Amino acid sequence: MHAALVTARHTVELIEFDEPTPADTGVVVDIAYCGICGTDVHSFESTAPVNPATCGHEWVGTVSAAGRSVDSVAEGDRVVIAVPPACGSCEPCRAGHTRWCTTTFLHLVGRDPLAPPHGGFAPAIAVGEGRVMRANAELSDEQAAQVEPATICFHGVRSSHVRPGDTTVVQGAGPIGLLTLQFARVAGAGHTIVIEPNPDRRALAAAVGASAVVEPGEAATQAVADATRGLGADIVFECAGLPHVIQTASDFARRGGALALIGFTTESARIQPATWMIKELSVTASLGYTHDEFERCMGLIADGRIDVDSLHTDTIGLDDVGAALADLASGGTTRTKVLVDPRQ
């Protein structure tokens, strides 16, 4: 069996692995689709080592084998990648901070004891039982493959405490920005401005509910000023995941407003703390999700309040993962969400 892995900067290789078998507390999942995430693109661009367990972490598939101690799913169940409930015994849980359970977090970042040697860019994968959840029966496989990134955005918007009628800015209209825009609207946000340099993604942002869509620069500054009578936005969602635009995102917020960091970057960013203090900004940062948020998120997709179908632009095979990552990293792509079908 071969899995596609980022093995060095701008390098994707098909590595041979033995056919997976389940641990006593694990399952084997035959992958139907695995989405390419923005963090996969960052890994492709980075010179830093990549955790192979997280290279391809947006998947849906069918349980083909289950360990003898597994009782939450069974062979034949269609499942999505998820995280287990809070364990109740780690230090954060014992202190009452179950939302920040260490066990859940280790599963999220592929550092749990049963973390696989490769991700979901493969025909099959062996993971711990806690890493899967039954997929909502009303979702197509293509929709279910986008549940993981959607739940990232659900968690980020939920953490921001957006209020009904808030004027919001979403910086970046990749998959994360487009999903964040929709969750903000579901949460009650009023006027929502999306800032994005790519014209295809600007058009998509308008199609999924943005009140206004503008290019970065003076047009964005003017659009926010016009929409808020010069005050600035109530909440700015930074979804580009680029260090050089974090300060720009804060500039769009009003005094007493909020900045929600959802786009992920491992690089250092230059900011102006004095302006953040003058504005008395509230800042939230999100990485991951909780077990129950997957169920909630699948329900919102199933009932049509969150549109993931419009984000899915194409499906490729394992042989084309490297070329797709290069295209997505170029900045000029016409693609948005690319799904990998390892059966091709």
Domains, the chain, with CATH or none: 2-146+308-340 (3.90.180.10), 153-285 (3.40.50.720)
Per-residue confidence (pLDDT) for residue 307, from 0 to 100: 98
Average pLDDT in the 206-233 region? Answer: 97
CB 156 within 8 A of CB 283: no
Per-residue confidence (pLDDT) for residue 143, from 0 to 100: 98
Per-residue confidence (pLDDT) for residue 61, from 0 to 100: 98
Per-residue confidence (pLDDT) for residue 331, from 0 to 100: 84
pLDDT tens readout for residues 5-27: 999 999 999 999 999 999 999 99
Per-residue confidence (pLDDT) for residue 308, from 0 to 100: 98
Q: Which residue type is seen at 1?
A: M
Is the pLDDT confidence value at 267 over 90? no
What is the overall mean pLDDT for the chain?
Answer: 97
Is the pLDDT confidence value at 277 over 90? yes
Average pLDDT in the 258-269 region? Answer: 93
CB 51 within 8 A of CB 108: no
Helix (H) or strand (E) holding 4: strand 2-8
Q: Which residue type is seen at 105?
A: F
15 forms bridges with which residues in the sheet? Answer: 3
Q: Which residues contact 244 (CB under 8 A, 6 or more apart)?
A: 269, 270
Specify the pTM.
Answer: 0.96
